[in-house]
Chain A
Amino acid sequence: MSELARIITSSDPAVRDRSLDAFCRGASTRELLAATVELEALRSSSDNLYHRVRALFFLYAIYRFYLPRTAGVAARGMIPFTGYTHLLNRRFEEAITIFRTAQSAGPTDPLCSALAVAYHRLAFQTLADQVRRSVRSVRGNQWMFRVGHPADQPLRVRTELRERAAADVPFPVLRESTPVRMDLTHSGWSDIFFLGMDFPEGARVLNVSIDLGVRGRDAQPRPPVEAYFRVIDEPVLRLTSIDLATTADITDLAEVFDFARDYLGLLKAAVIAAGLVPPGMEGSGQRLADLLAQLVGAGNGIELVSSVNGIPKGSRLAVSTNLLASLIAVCMRATGQAASLTGQLAEHERRLVAARAILGEWLAGSGGGWQDSGGVWPGMKLIQGVLAAEGDPEYGVSRGRLLPSHHILGRDEASDATRLALQESLVLVHGGMAQNVGPILEMVTEKYLLRSDAEWRARQDALGILDTILQALHEGDIPMIGAATTRNFFEPIQTIIPWATNLYTEQLIAQSRAAFGTDFWGFWMLGGMSGGGMGFIFAPQRKAEAQERLQSLMSSAKRRLEHALPFAMEPVVYDFVINERGTYAELLEGNTALLPAGYYALIVPAMLRADPRTLPASRRVELDRFGAATRTQPELASMVPSLFDQLLPQVRREGAGARELHALLDENGFDRVQHEQIRADMRAGRIGLMQNRLSPTTDIRDVEPGDVYDATGFLPAELERIGQAALAAGQVAVVSLAAGAGSRWTQGAGVVKALHPFARLAGKHRTFVETHLAKSRRVGRSVGATIPHIFTTSYLTHAPIAAYLAAERNYGYDGPLLLSPGRSVGLRLVPTVRDLRFAWEELPVQVLDEQAQKMRASLHAALISWVQSVGEGSDYTDNVPSQCLHPVGHWFEVPNMLRNGTLAQLLTERPGLRYLMVHNIDTLGADVDPGLLGLHISRQSGLTFEVITRRIEDRGGGLARVDGTLRLLEGLAMPREEDEFDLSYYNTMTTWVDIDQLLRAFALTRDELQDHARVVGAIRALGARVPTYITLKDVKKRWGHGQEDLFPVAQFEKLWGDLSTLPELNCGYVAVPRVRGQQLKDQAQLDGWLRDGSADYVESLCEWG
């Protein structure tokens, strides 16, 4: 047995916990390939889940991080398209077979990237499958998968809820109130299911149930989550989410399983997970009314209402899991699955609610940690993983059980005085940032399974910190807790995941420390990452002051950084108390059998519009009771004005937004004539995703020898010399394209990517802008000159970048630093159904996990309905104005420099300027390399495009011979998807430009740049020669308390690479090392970028100001 196999299969922790790195560091290509063969055999033959998964992660890491660095791996190669399509369709085994077969001809970097992705995805799929199996096999959950007919439904709603005083009054209401949970420490994300199931000894969480109120808004904290259940005398399932202002009467069984149709997915998941509509009923074709008849008697139905007390999304307090648990608990009580109809739940009932919540999260395609339903339990509790024993469904499959154990801390472990002291010291906030924590959880799992040295030590360290906090609770020492949580954040947490912190959080901590000195006791990260829910601990006598101060610190930091980081809402400070009851139910009968006021605000307007005679008698009585209550209960006094707001909601909002949008369009050179033409063409089907493509008869081939200059090794000294001379003579400027919002970077949040402090380099968080300037500074100083640096901007990015640079004093950049504002803007359009279907059904898309795929299908149906209801090709205006506009593609960014005078200004100041290096904001490795500049000069090209060999993630076109002519071909224009997989090189977008040759292509001279009309005409003329593409982008629409929806919208673009089709530009192509040419498109790439040496490379290019 090989060394790696022994590490994986050993039961001795000293062997099992060794890292992969120790083995792979310094191994040769041959040794690594031999290891992959053994690991592949092990993972294929082992029955043990974790042996398989760990072998898969080892394989992934070898292909991702170790093999590509060895000498025996060719940089250039092809990835078989069939393997890629298998990957998209989640047929990982087949993909791996194809890639491994291709690899037998010799390992290549592209194949390594493909195998890394395949093993990575298969590993997570294997883990997810196991969690799903375990959730289904938990006793108490299994029966629900067997019920396939209404007659099989064994549940009945309890008689207390089915009896009423008279036939025309409403039924009693069962109300469940549930706290949320905060974790004092999660011990290095040890609440991830996979970790708890492999390493239950290390899965430990200290979790506290709390009531919450927003400071300044709520009179006092209360359980933030409520669920209401009642029987109704209509045979429907009525679901209402008060906080999401949505209600629906469901009569069709299939609709219960349609999660993304509306905002009621969580309620539907609860109805299913609680067994009211058991999961086994999906697709049965039975009638919902028959099922309801079994539960509550013929002719009756069930109403379920959820309410969240205005707690914003992303609070890191597991609001949605606890809401799900609350809904499940109320349904389980109502159907006798919990013995206690009211009051607290018994321990075994709480465990069942937790298991059902896991099931519900899986059904709804979301996922949380196993501590998340902690609000169901009272007070403070230590939640720990449990070793699987004989009789457990997990036994023999995984080391740990799916469900952990909960130990509620007694007063001997945390006294009342300690609890009070904690409450009086802790300032709990929502920083306002909303980020997807999913990639972080994947990174944690991966690092755990690889047992990387530093991370593994950090994990042990985190466990020690939990013990320290337990001890501090026992001793009532709150400063000790603050010190421990702070150390937790800065040491183990950031060692495992550097991305858990961000500039915003660190500024808040530093400012709190500066303002409060020794009275600031510590910081505490809630949940998966910082920036949203966070805790700051202060000496109790200064808590009120600290709450006030933090609110203003957060608000001003947000104003400073809101264009750089994805803020979803205004930061808030909470008031909180520890909840010592856990989830708790009350039965409301007679005149008190009312739902919360928000419910009536939502449904009464529709009732007022309806004919009163069509309302059921019980509804009329209920409204009568509610009316009486508004007259007698002071807390309902605001109902009348809020009803008016509901009845007339649109008038105010639309007016202001529309005016602002029109102003922005006018300011940014919106071309109405062109817009109407595009709309007409799109509606008529003359342009669209399908029409972006070249004709299917186009001959697309890979480059031929001599087409590309290979600069992946050392360049001749002569070229270096030419480049340095040009630099010293001030002939070069850098143009960083920063007009785009980086849709993928923040999933359509519309922040300025250029300003994102994306990573810590040389000990500080650095923005893209700062990093590019640092590279220009280093090169400039090396030749004793200053390099002009231009950032192109757009309506979206100009003002924030200008303000940021001003605030940072240009990061101390000593050369000319110019902004080139955009002069073109488009208005986004509602896409056509044809394009949506093309994107979803014709283009190869990544198939998701089973349940998530169902969610996606359901969402697609909802989006098609949206398009049909608002009208294909209509203006997209139902969002904040900045999200309705769009930059019109990077083709325009250099012409904008002509149009807005930036280039003319530069040429006036520096007549010797001859070359530009144009690059994307996210190509961090691109610098003004003298050798490459020398190459560009010596070859006398108009444009020299830098390309890199392709990896699997490099999608979107490449360098090709198109009908015999060498050019860059955009992915949008590929006639067939597979064509891209025959191309060796991917376009980095980094381009060396000979200014005079470019001007000639525009039919301009340097002097004519002063003639605005001529410049505009020249740009229009050249623009007509490059294609216009229709693209779909996802934009976020924010609403409510941090809620976000994604809408696909259509926009048009012209792309820079299409200039390579113009023969007069005399284009050249140079292959550069990957570290230079790769782009950071997605924040999930950052960890790999840090680990594979790319970050070190970038840092080596920089000289910080």
Chain B
Amino acid sequence: MKVTKAVITSAGPAQRALPLQRIIDRDGVSKPVLQIILEEALHAGVDEVGIVVAPGDTEVFAQAVGEHRARLRFIEQAAPRGYGHAVYCARQFVGAAPFLHLVGDHLYISRTEHGCARQLVELARAENCAISAVQPSRESLLPYYGTVGGRLVPGTQNLYVVEQVIEKPTPTEAEQRLMVPGLRVGHYLCFFGMHVLTPTVMELLGAQIERAGASPIQLSPALHELARHERYLALANIGRRYDVGVKYGLLTAQLALALDGPDRDEVLSSLVELLATRHA
């Protein structure tokens, strides 16, 4: 399975401005969040990226991406009909090929020298199936994420066969249906905001949209269906995910980037100074 295209969703009413936020990357260069996400995708080896935006945002986004403009396609989501619908808007762009999908308000720091997206794409190629990055998360975070249940692929330590996907489950539901052997008590595999998906997802989303009427379209139900249709894996612990859309999210992401780069000592010194000042 060769992945040559990526889809980034940035059309959500609450997240339209986030990708345009400037932040210092780990190399010390100031750039918009969108550009960092884009570079994550490009480092994974994709040739072309489709960005789903709200109507009227194309121009301002185009300006934010600078040098990568030529490899981008902007796709407008005419009405805010949900996250799944935003992905579905890119169906013509991806055609019949598998694609990498990232959300526009998350930043990632890999545990290895390769980016998170690249690890995911390489594994998808090796396993020849759809695969989502997941992160074991405490149950108090369940209201924020799609969550998967499944079982460990024999002989691996962080690769799971997905059996269930539920969008923002209650802890009750999670405990009954999403418990994964080997995880700490009260921890579940929550989406990382990064997937390699097959075109089947677009078909499933299409069917879902037909049934749903005016209801918002989520991605998780389609992924749940996907797990029933074809082999679908989840890869855990490839790095850390930072949601820039939550309270202090941007600050935390910035600190994480800075502490992961060459300016680590400088940032740490500042932090220590801040802490000392507070105590004084």
Chain A residues packing against B (C-beta within 8 Å): 139-144, 146-147, 151-156, 275, 332, 335-337, 348, 352
Which 9 pairs show the lowest CB-CB distances between chains A and B?
A: A143-B171, A152-B140, A154-B171, A337-B172, A140-B172, A337-B170, A154-B142, A140-B176, A139-B176
Pairwise interchain contact B140-A153, C-beta atoms closer than 8 A = yes
A152 — which chain B residues lie within 8 A by C-beta? 138-140
The 8 A CB mask of B137-153 against A (1 = contact, 0 = none) is: 01111110000000000
For the complex with contacts A143-B174, A154-B140, A154-B170, 16 further pairs of A-B residues with Cβ separation under 8 Å are A139-B175, A139-B176, A140-B172, A140-B175, A140-B176, A143-B139, A143-B172, A144-B171, A146-B185, A152-B139, A153-B140, A154-B143, A332-B172, A336-B170, A348-B176, A352-B172
Say yes or no: is B13 at the interface (Cβ < 8 Å to chain A).
Answer: no
Q: In the bound complex, what is the Cα–Cα distance between A173 and B170 (angstroms)? A: 21
Q: In the bound complex, what is the Cα–Cα distance between A139 and B186 (angstroms)? A: 11
A154 — which chain B residues lie within 8 A by C-beta? 139-143, 170-171
* A142 touching B175 in the complex, CB below 8 Å, given contacts A154-B170, A335-B170, A336-B170: yes
Q: In the bound complex, what is the Cα–Cα distance between A143 and B185 (angstroms)? A: 9
A191 to chain B, nearest CB (A): 24
Pairwise interchain contact B186-A143, C-beta atoms closer than 8 A = yes
A257 to chain B, nearest CB (A): 20
The 8 A CB mask of B161-191 against A (1 = contact, 0 = none) is: 0000000001111111001000001100000
Most chain A CB within a 10 A radius of its CB, from B141, B170, B185:
B170
Pairwise interchain contact B186-A275, C-beta atoms closer than 8 A = no
Q: In the bound complex, what is the Cα–Cα distance between A224 and B140 (angstroms)? A: 36
Q: In the bound complex, what is the Cα–Cα distance between A234 and B140 (angstroms)? A: 24
B141 — which chain A residues lie within 8 A by C-beta? 154
Q: In the bound complex, what is the Cα–Cα distance between A575 and B250 (angstroms)? A: 64
A151 — which chain B residues lie within 8 A by C-beta? 140
30 contacts between A and B (CB under 8 A): A139-B175, A139-B176, A140-B175, A140-B176, A141-B175, A142-B185, A143-B139, A143-B171, A143-B172, A143-B174, A143-B175, A144-B171, A146-B185, A147-B140, A151-B140, A152-B140, A153-B140, A154-B139, A154-B140, A154-B170, A155-B143, A155-B170, A275-B172, A336-B170, A337-B170, A337-B172, A337-B173, A348-B176, A352-B172, A352-B176
B175 — which chain A residues lie within 8 A by C-beta? 139-143
A274 nearest in chain B by CB position = B172
- The residue that B139 contacts in the complex, of A141, A146, A337, with Cβ under 8 A, is A146
Most chain A CB within a 10 A radius of its CB, from B140, B142, B186:
B140
A760 to chain B, nearest CB (A): 49
A935 to chain B, nearest CB (A): 72
- The residue that A139 contacts in the complex, of B140, B143, B179, with Cβ under 8 A, is B179
Q: In the bound complex, what is the Cα–Cα distance between A336 and B168 (angstroms)? A: 10
B142 — which chain A residues lie within 8 A by C-beta? 154
Number of B interface residues at 8 Å Cβ cutoff, please give it: 16
Give the contacts of B118-149 with A (CB-CB under 8 A).
Answer: 138-143
B185 nearest in chain A by CB position = A146
A59 to chain B, nearest CB (A): 37
Pairwise interchain contact A146-B176, C-beta atoms closer than 8 A = no
Pairwise interchain contact B171-A275, C-beta atoms closer than 8 A = yes
Q: In the bound complex, what is the Cα–Cα distance between A154 and B140 (angstroms)? A: 4
Chain B residues packing against A (C-beta within 8 Å): 138-143, 170-176, 179, 185-186
A559 to chain B, nearest CB (A): 51
B143 — which chain A residues lie within 8 A by C-beta? 154-156
A340 to chain B, nearest CB (A): 13
A348 — which chain B residues lie within 8 A by C-beta? 176
B176 — which chain A residues lie within 8 A by C-beta? 139-140, 348, 352
A461 to chain B, nearest CB (A): 38
A275 nearest in chain B by CB position = B172
Q: In the bound complex, what is the Cα–Cα distance between A147 and B138 (angstroms)? A: 11
A336 — which chain B residues lie within 8 A by C-beta? 170
A156 nearest in chain B by CB position = B143
B147 to chain A, nearest CB (A): 11
A140 — which chain B residues lie within 8 A by C-beta? 172-173, 175-176
Q: In the bound complex, what is the Cα–Cα distance between A155 and B179 (angstroms)? A: 17
A352 nearest in chain B by CB position = B172
A296 to chain B, nearest CB (A): 13
A336 to chain B, nearest CB (A): 5
Q: In the bound complex, what is the Cα–Cα distance between A143 and B173 (angstroms)? A: 10
Q: In the bound complex, what is the Cα–Cα distance between A335 and B142 (angstroms)? A: 13
Q: In the bound complex, what is the Cα–Cα distance between A151 and B140 (angstroms)? A: 7
A337 to chain B, nearest CB (A): 5
Q: In the bound complex, what is the Cα–Cα distance between A336 and B174 (angstroms)? A: 12
A266 to chain B, nearest CB (A): 21
A352 — which chain B residues lie within 8 A by C-beta? 172, 176
B170 — which chain A residues lie within 8 A by C-beta? 154-155, 335-337
Most chain B CB within a 10 A radius of its CB, from A151, A155, A332:
A155
A156 to chain B, nearest CB (A): 5
Q: In the bound complex, what is the Cα–Cα distance between A140 and B173 (angstroms)? A: 6
B186 nearest in chain A by CB position = A146
Q: In the bound complex, what is the Cα–Cα distance between A139 and B169 (angstroms)? A: 14
A153 — which chain B residues lie within 8 A by C-beta? 140
A147 — which chain B residues lie within 8 A by C-beta? 140
A139 — which chain B residues lie within 8 A by C-beta? 175-176, 179
A480 to chain B, nearest CB (A): 41
A73 to chain B, nearest CB (A): 52
B109 to chain A, nearest CB (A): 23
A356 nearest in chain B by CB position = B172
B29 to chain A, nearest CB (A): 35
B108 to chain A, nearest CB (A): 24
A155 — which chain B residues lie within 8 A by C-beta? 143, 170-171
A275 — which chain B residues lie within 8 A by C-beta? 171-172
Q: In the bound complex, what is the Cα–Cα distance between A155 and B173 (angstroms)? A: 11
A142 — which chain B residues lie within 8 A by C-beta? 175, 185
A147 nearest in chain B by CB position = B140
A294 to chain B, nearest CB (A): 9
Q: In the bound complex, what is the Cα–Cα distance between A142 and B170 (angstroms)? A: 13
B141 nearest in chain A by CB position = A154
Q: In the bound complex, what is the Cα–Cα distance between A156 and B171 (angstroms)? A: 11
A332 — which chain B residues lie within 8 A by C-beta? 172
A336 nearest in chain B by CB position = B170
A934 to chain B, nearest CB (A): 75
Q: In the bound complex, what is the Cα–Cα distance between A144 and B176 (angstroms)? A: 13
A146 nearest in chain B by CB position = B186
A1090 to chain B, nearest CB (A): 47
B96 to chain A, nearest CB (A): 34
A271 to chain B, nearest CB (A): 15
Q: In the bound complex, what is the Cα–Cα distance between A151 and B143 (angstroms)? A: 12
Q: In the bound complex, what is the Cα–Cα distance between A143 and B176 (angstroms)? A: 10
A907 to chain B, nearest CB (A): 78
B143 nearest in chain A by CB position = A156
B173 nearest in chain A by CB position = A337
B142 nearest in chain A by CB position = A154
B188 to chain A, nearest CB (A): 10
Q: In the bound complex, what is the Cα–Cα distance between A352 and B175 (angstroms)? A: 12
B142 to chain A, nearest CB (A): 5
A151 nearest in chain B by CB position = B140
A144 nearest in chain B by CB position = B171
A395 to chain B, nearest CB (A): 16
A401 to chain B, nearest CB (A): 15
A335 nearest in chain B by CB position = B170
Q: In the bound complex, what is the Cα–Cα distance between A140 and B170 (angstroms)? A: 9
B139 — which chain A residues lie within 8 A by C-beta? 143, 146, 152, 154
A278 nearest in chain B by CB position = B171
B172 — which chain A residues lie within 8 A by C-beta? 140, 143, 275, 332, 337, 352
B166 to chain A, nearest CB (A): 10
A838 to chain B, nearest CB (A): 46
Q: In the bound complex, what is the Cα–Cα distance between A571 and B171 (angstroms)? A: 46
A329 to chain B, nearest CB (A): 13
B179 — which chain A residues lie within 8 A by C-beta? 139
B174 — which chain A residues lie within 8 A by C-beta? 143
Most chain B CB within a 10 A radius of its CB, from A140, A147, A156:
A140
Q: In the bound complex, what is the Cα–Cα distance between A337 and B171 (angstroms)? A: 8
Q: In the bound complex, what is the Cα–Cα distance between A182 and B175 (angstroms)? A: 32
